[in-house]
Amino acid sequence: MSSHQPWIHDTPTVSVVLPTKNEALNLPSVLPHLPSCVIELVLVDGHSTDGTIEVAQSLRPDVRVVTQTRKGKGNALACGFAVATGDIVVMLDADGSADPDEIDRFVAALVAGADFAKGSRFTVGGGSSDITRIRRLGNKALNQLVNSLCGTRYTDLCYGYNAFWRACLPALDLLPGIPHADMMWGDGFEVETLINIRIAKAGLRVSEVPSFERPRIHGTSNLNAVKDGLRVLNTIRLEARREKLLVDLHWPEPVLSDATAEPVRFRTAVSVILVARGDSRWEDVL
């Protein structure tokens, strides 16, 4: 086990942060499968109307329920991170697409010395029975863009099944904030890209963990491949401006397993996304 960071140890406690909105039908297929290492479940609810909270409480009486302050997955995660108490924090979807049995893999990667365990459908041992062609294409282009800007070797930038030591939270710079009528930047699905970039900027050690994505069990996803893809692309642009990455590429290179990078020009990724969109412009998602 690596001990390059003081927070890494062999017997961590684990918190799972679970964003929900009308996931009552899916929770019975998710919560009973949380491994025994999970000592805290933080359910962050987005004002569900189908009894999601009640179902969660019946399945896991010790669940900690938090109501998010704004709309969006990113805000839900920020609210959950703020109250989680485990040494390790796991980001898990409630729709059944992510296998809770894989949590042990993420914990093992962190105990072995990683600061951030990044789930990947595209590393050896991973896969997906749900991803569409357009999502795969967009994800690949965004991977290449971030890797070229940040010196990283991510293989699955937009996958949200991840885990990290709670001590790394300051590097993410995510705060739930005060209630606000509108979504703020980082409140949506783009939060996963934002986290990956800030983890790299902080020079934290990253290990990719193979993960298999399944189709959502019940209900319809709120993800819009094109609109959210453009939000991700704009997040990269804003983070680059925030840290002046386009001028000073001095980020330390994280250590990833089974991941390679291929340089790509910024305009290549932009072209891929905009071609998928058709006639849309940047202004459509600002």
Distance of alpha carbon 34 from its chain centroid, rounded? 18
Question: What's domain 14-136+155-223's architecture?
Answer: Alpha-Beta Complex (3.90)
Closest residue by Cα to residue 38 from 127, 122, 101:
101
**What pLDDT, in 10s, does the model give residues 164-182?**
999 999 999 887 766 766 7
Give the pairing type, strands 116-120 and 206-210.
parallel
What are the tens digits of pLDDT across the range 37-81? 999 999 999 999 999 999 999 999 999 999 998 888 999 999 999
- Token couple for 150: 């940040």
Question: What is the separation of C-alpha 16 from the centre of its chain, rounded to a whole number of angstroms?
Answer: 13
Q: Which two tokens stand for residue 62?
A: 């010790």
pLDDT in tens, 180-217: 667 776 777 789 999 999 999 899 999 999 999 999 89
The reported pTM is 0.80
Residue 7: what pLDDT? 79
